[in-house]
Chain A
Amino acid sequence: MLGLDKKDTTLLIVVAVLALFAPFLLNPFPTESALAQFNAGYPDLMQRFVIFGIFAIGFNILFGLTGYLSFGHAAFLGVGSYAAVWMFKLLGYNVVPGIILSVIVAGVFALLIGFISLRRSGIYFSILTLAFAQMSFAMAYSVLTPITNGETGLQVYSSDNPLFQTATDPNVPHLFGLVMRESYTMKVGAWSFSFNNGYYLCAILMLVAFYISIRIFRSPFGLMLRAVKSNQQRMNYTGLSARPYTLAAFVISGMYAGLAGGLLASMDPLAGAERMQWTASGEVVLMTILGGAGTLIGPVLGAGFIKYFENIFSKINESTLHGWFSWLPDPIEDPLVWLLEHFIGGGWALTLGTLFMLVVIFLPGGLVEGGQRIGRLISGKSRGTEDETGKPAATSHPAE
């Protein structure tokens, strides 16, 4: 179907079903129960799942396929957000021009940065992209204040007078009258499920993005990108230049990031410089490797995982922990709570860093590899089969 083979079609359909029924799946606990704090089915969080899913899918096209580790992808996300908010300010609250422009602007920006950064590879490339992102952050924060509104962040003011905003149009982001932040709430017994317009827009775009990413993975172009990763020298010897391919991958992933940024702004018409900071760039790297770099489904899983636990961890506090571990004897409970207390509440960044290290050290292939290992363990098959993308296990580089 749609030019995909059977396995990929199944994967796409599974993801589509999961995305469309997410409001049910993410709300397994009744609203009034004690476990309701583990529900993730409210619009704001679901939007972030799919938006950061798009971001990570795009990042994976660059990092997973070519192995070029960019540390500055948040810059494209930020640029996309600014572009979208400017469209709201100039043209009106319809999200379509904002999203289109955010993709285009991020693509042009990625072309510029990629053209320079891709002159070097390996470590140099990572450092360069990090430097560019920090430079973009500094520019957004102070240098370009007339465009970005500096520290305050860019937002739409009532004095802006957009060009196509008529009196009947809603005064919040909308898609031809469909207001993004409105939801339809369905109550079934003790459960309540909310279906948010914005979420479905993001989810549909995420599915499109996912589909494109599958096509790229399976295309001759994707094969070229993998060749860049496995042995660039050999590729050069066969008379191919790696530069155009890596630049194309960089721009595509930049456009994905721009789309994510545009969607973030469409859900909540704000754009701030902190979206471009290095921690944000690090987060998308983590999402990708946590899920499994170079796999199709990995980045989506990683994004969902990170955003879900970010939400849960920041809600827990010390007394909740004491409640959970009250069955332990005090000499064990107190040190345990003391230890865990570092990671909860405002300590999410610490959790993120720890997770980062643990994943890189113990599970370089991410959740997908972890799942495969467990699967193999259960089915009892021996190792050495190729993983989902068809690339051999990570460390072996033939003829290097």
Chain B
Amino acid sequence: MDDIILQILNGLDKGSAYALIALGLTLIFGTLGVVNFAHGALFMIGAFCAVTLQKLLSLERIEVSATEKTAWGTPLEIKTPYAELWFGHDFGAAIIDWSVPLAILFAIPVMLAIGYVMERGLIKHFYKRPHADQILVTFGLAIVLQELIKHYYGANPIPTPAPSAFRGSFDFGVLLGFDAGSIIYPYWRMVYFAFSAVIIGAVFAFLQFTTFGMVVRAGMADRETVGLLGINIDRRFTIMFGLAAAVAGLAGVMYTPINSPNYHMGMDFLVLSFVVVVVGGMGSLPGAVLAGFLLGILESFASYSPIKNFFETWLFLPSIDQIIIYLVAIIILLTRPRGLMGRKGVMED
């Protein structure tokens, strides 16, 4: 039992990332009718926003000490981060420590701006073009963004730690009445899950309870009629694109302590997020979220050693966890081509 709970918990953080990216993909697809192959790149740029902010904050002033010497006899260099110089020692150190959560504030305007520029500068010109062209141009953009990040940040993963307050692990075993140490779960993953739940909730609330959201939903259902009513639906859709970019970026920011960001993380997540969208049902926002969490948990179960060994001994499939999502997607498509929650008439062709 405790193993099962542990696997569910382990699946939640990856599932959160899938759900957030798939949510953005579905938003863009539902509003603008464009499949955004660059969405994974937006996730990655979000992660690198966190990296950039951390690097900026820990910029150091180097002073050469007049009196002290190093072991080699050269003058000792004293490095003090500018943040500590400007904001005082304790507060400055706290800012550096909390750079990942602070990066949220930094990433929101950056991602909104990137999303806005992307939609107005590029994607706008592709509404009337065939879907293949939309896929190709965003695919090209994804490569460009990824390679630019690689050029400036290098190919190696950059460790970006969580604030020290969240670095430990929580022992669920004691809380739930199992043996101590049987269910250990890092604090940051709990934070990530809670964060993504808040974001998902906020997006749904925004669409459901605001006038702006109502107009957008009406536009998703029937764009022409909304346009005929004298509403500038294009402008609202552009804002939704920026919002979807921001959701992907925030998912990336908060994901950095879980996995050190590298330049190809976007594409790794994108392919799986597409599978999530297809399983959830194209165009369905709740479907995308549900499928994201389900597939995340499923992947985690597949990496659970008794299940893994079972597949290896009886079905001759070692490392089933690496392909389980694809296998499930195939089965779903063969039996339920519309996905879990897909509606009739949405992307049927």
Contact = CB atoms under 8 A, between A and B. Distances in A.
Interface in B104-151: 122, 125, 128-133, 135-137, 139-144, 146-148, 150-151
A289 B323 contact: no
Interface in B324-347: 326, 329-330, 333-334, 337, 347
Contacts of A347: 147, 151
A122 B147 contact: no
Contacts of B35: 123, 126-127
Given A127-B278, A349-B147, A360-B133, A134 B326 contact: yes
Given A119-B333, A139-B323, A353 B143 contact: yes
Contact of A357 (B140, B267, B275): B140
Given A123-B35, A360-B133, A360-B137, A116 B330 contact: yes
Given A350-B147, A354-B144, A127 B274 contact: yes
Nearest to A126: B135
B349 to A, nearest CB: 6
A123 B135 contact: yes
B334 A69 contact: no
Contacts of B157: none
A16 interface: no
A349 B142 CA distance: 11
B221 interface: no
Interface in B307-326: 317-320, 322-323, 326
A353 B141 contact: yes
Given A130-B274, A278-B271, A116 B334 contact: yes
Contact of A120 (B267, B317, B337): B337
B282 interface: yes
A360 B136 contact: yes
Given A138-B322, A347-B151, A357 B141 contact: yes
A132 B143 contact: no
Interface residues of A, number: 45
B329 A131 contact: yes
B347 A135 contact: no
B144 A357 contact: yes
A278 B41 CA distance: 14
B136 A285 contact: yes
Interface in A326-381: 342, 347, 349-350, 352-357, 360-361, 364
A285 B133 CA distance: 11
A360 B140 contact: yes
Contact of B136 (A67, A119, A356): A356
A128 interface: yes
Contacts of B133: 360, 364
Nearest to A352: B143
Interface string B193-227: 00000000000000000000000000000000000
A36 interface: no
Interface in A278-295: 278-279, 282, 285, 289
Contacts of A161: none
A71 B130 CA distance: 16
A350 B143 contact: yes
A375 to B, nearest CB: 24
Contact of B137 (A232, A279, A357): A357
B140 A353 contact: yes
Nearest to A69: B132
B137 A361 contact: yes
A122 B133 CA distance: 11
Contacts of B326: 131-132, 134-135
A88 to B, nearest CB: 25
Contacts of B330: 116
Contacts of B333: 116, 119-120, 128
Contacts of B329: 128, 131
A143 interface: yes
A69 B130 CA distance: 11
B140 A356 contact: yes
Nearest to A117: B333
A121 interface: yes
Counting chain A CB atoms within 10 Å of each CB, which of B35, B133, B139 scores highest? Answer: B139
A142 interface: yes
A349 B278 CA distance: 29
A21 interface: no
A124 interface: yes
A142 B322 contact: yes
B151 A342 contact: yes
Contacts of B137: 356-357, 360-361
B278 A119 contact: no
Given A278-B267, A350-B147, A143 B141 contact: no
Interface in A56-99: 63, 67, 69, 71
8 contacts: A63-B132, A69-B131, A127-B277, A131-B278, A143-B319, A349-B150, A350-B147, A353-B140
Given A119-B333, A353-B141, 10 more contacts: A116-B330, A120-B337, A122-B131, A123-B131, A124-B347, A127-B35, A138-B323, A145-B318, A232-B349, A279-B143
Interface of B: 35, 122, 125, 128-133, 135-137, 139-144, 146-148, 150-151, 267, 271, 274-275, 277-278, 282, 317-320, 322-323, 326, 329-330, 333-334, 337, 347, 349
Interface of A: 63, 67, 69, 71, 116, 119-124, 126-128, 130-132, 134-135, 138-139, 142-143, 145, 232, 278-279, 282, 285, 289, 342, 347, 349-350, 352-357, 360-361, 364, 394-395
